[in-house]
Chains A and B, each alone.
Chain A
């Protein structure tokens, strides 16, 4: 029964979106973290997604070569400049009196969060519909 493959596909989508949500949570939690050098300051993490299988153009669509889900290929760090404040009284300040914040943009993160949760819901709906139809297929003839 090849409807089973949809569970894998939608499941990989759900896993990817929850990873995204997890990353957003980590970024938002560290939005106000301080550091004493620009290198060790918290940089916003971004996930890289890719389809699990590429079509080779010759394969038969029947054997499932083309069908695929999504997977995470890596994490990249935002290249935006980190925030720098002049706070000589701060115990974290370097010898020039500067502290370094993170480069997390809370607006970006919130937009990401909404997008991820919507996509997650879409995948859940796909799974639900498929499940109901599978049950109907099993009940065939009764």
Chain B
């Protein structure tokens, strides 16, 4: 079974899972750097990233006909944005631990829900393969 087929089976869930995973890395980095002077907290624009991953972004892509031209997709693939701090701190750090913790928690719940969508698809497939008999 090719991976392309698996992607068709699981639909957007597998892409969403990957994006939640990437976002959790970014948030973990923010939490780890909560006391680093001048550290700028970052986050992923999830809606935009998922739209791009699923290929139905409404943005028109620039074409790169000449060899060696910088592809705009490599730049727009960098979905990391900087967070705007609610209260500026003296050491230039823009991590708000409470915000990061809340984002991390909700991110992990989203990850879990994508995971259970994939899981139920697998179970449905298994049911179809076994013809509803003993699994």
**Known contacts A58-B74, A70-B36, A133-B112; is A13 also within 8 Å of B80 by CB?**
no
Checking B31, B33, B74 against A126 with a beta-carbon cut-off of 8 angstroms, the contacting residue is B31
CB of A51 within 8 A of CB of B39, answer yes
Q: Once the chains are docked, how many angstroms separate the CA of A48 from the CA of B105?
A: 29
> Which of B26, B32, B36 has the most chain A CB atoms closer than 10 A to its own CB?
B32
> Which of B24, B26, B75, B105 has the most chain A CB atoms closer than 10 A to its own CB?
B24
CB of A17 within 8 A of CB of B80, answer no
CB of B118 within 8 A of CB of A9, answer no
Q: Mark contacts of A5-29 with chain B using CB atoms, 8 A cut-off: 1 yes-contact digit, 0 otherwise.
A: 1100110110011001000000000
**Known contacts A10-B28, A10-B31; is A126 also within 8 Å of B104 by CB?**
yes
Query: Which residues of chain B have C-beta atoms less than 8 A from A12's C-beta?
Result: 32
Within 8 A of B (CB), among A98-142: 115-116, 118-119, 122-123, 125-126, 129-130, 133, 136-137, 140-141
Q: Mark contacts of B91-135 with chain A using CB atoms, 8 A cut-off: 1 yes-contact digit, 0 otherwise.
A: 000000100010011001001100100110011001000000000
**Nearest CB on A from B33, distance (A):** 5
* Secondary structure class of chain B's binding surface, majority of residues: helix
Q: Once the chains are docked, how many angstroms separate the CA of A57 from the CA of B112?
A: 30
Checking B32, B105, B108 against A13 with a beta-carbon cut-off of 8 angstroms, the contacting residue is B32
B contact residues, total (Cβ < 8 Å): 36
Query: Which residues of chain B have C-beta atoms less than 8 A from A133's C-beta?
Result: 108, 111-112, 115
Q: Once the chains are docked, how many angstroms separate the CA of A125 from the CA of B32?
A: 11
B35 within 8 A of A: yes
Q: Once the chains are docked, how many angstroms separate the CA of A62 from the CA of B15?
A: 12
Q: Once the chains are docked, how many angstroms separate the CA of A60 from the CA of B132?
A: 45
**Known contacts A140-B118, A141-B122; is A2 also within 8 Å of B21 by CB?**
yes
B84 within 8 A of A: no
Q: Once the chains are docked, how many angstroms separate the CA of A9 from the CA of B34?
A: 12
Report A's interface with B, CB cutoff 8 A.
2-3, 5-6, 9-10, 12-13, 16-17, 20, 48-51, 55, 57-62, 64, 66-70, 115-116, 118-119, 122-123, 125-126, 129-130, 133, 136-137, 140-141
Report B's interface with A, CB cutoff 8 A.
21-22, 24-26, 28-29, 31-37, 39, 42, 44, 74-75, 77-80, 97, 101, 104-105, 108, 111-112, 115, 118-119, 122-123, 126
